[in-house]
Amino acid sequence: MDIFTNSSSISTIAVFYMCATTATGNIIFTSCFSHSDVFTFHMMAIEMLTTVAAVLFMYGLSTKMEELTITAGLIFTFCSTGQIYFHSLTCVERYLAVVHPITYLRLKKRGGVTIRNISIGVAWDREKGVGVRE
């Protein structure tokens, strides 16, 4: 399982780097990305958190630290719900592009970026409360 975790994290970092670089090799983070690209970047961040949780979980099991395994389990819960939110946002964006192309082209401008950023903020905010019991 440890080999799978390492190869998964390496491939995630490689995809993130390939998506973030231009043909000249410069890293870009501007508004030229489509909304799906931004959602994909957030999905990759969640995958990196999942990798950290897997390492913590394995370390907690090997050292018999129950608190660490519980923390890793909470991170897994956090990540699994986050993946659902960002997949849903990607599906909504593609639905708009196919079914309502005029609206989609209009939302690719400044107003759509605001809606996208608010949606991402709400998704991250909703994720942090899942799995925590008071």
Per-residue pLDDT of the chain (134 residues; tens, 9 = 90+): 444 445 555 555 565 565 555 544 555 555 456 777 788 888 888 888 889 999 999 999 999 899 999 989 888 888 888 888 888 988 988 898 899 988 888 887 767 778 888 888 888 887 776 544 54
| Structural contact between residues 49 and 79, judged by C-beta atoms closer than 8 angstroms | yes
65 torsion bin: left (phi>0), alpha (psi -120 to 50), beta (else): beta
Tell me which residue range forms the domain holding 70.
2-129
CA angle 13, 15, 18 (to 5 degrees): 110
Helix 66-99 × helix 35-63 angle, to 10°: 160
CATH number at residue 52: 1.20.1070.10
In a domain, 57, yes or no: yes
Other beta carbons within 10 angstroms of residue 118's beta carbon come to 10
In a domain, 134, yes or no: no
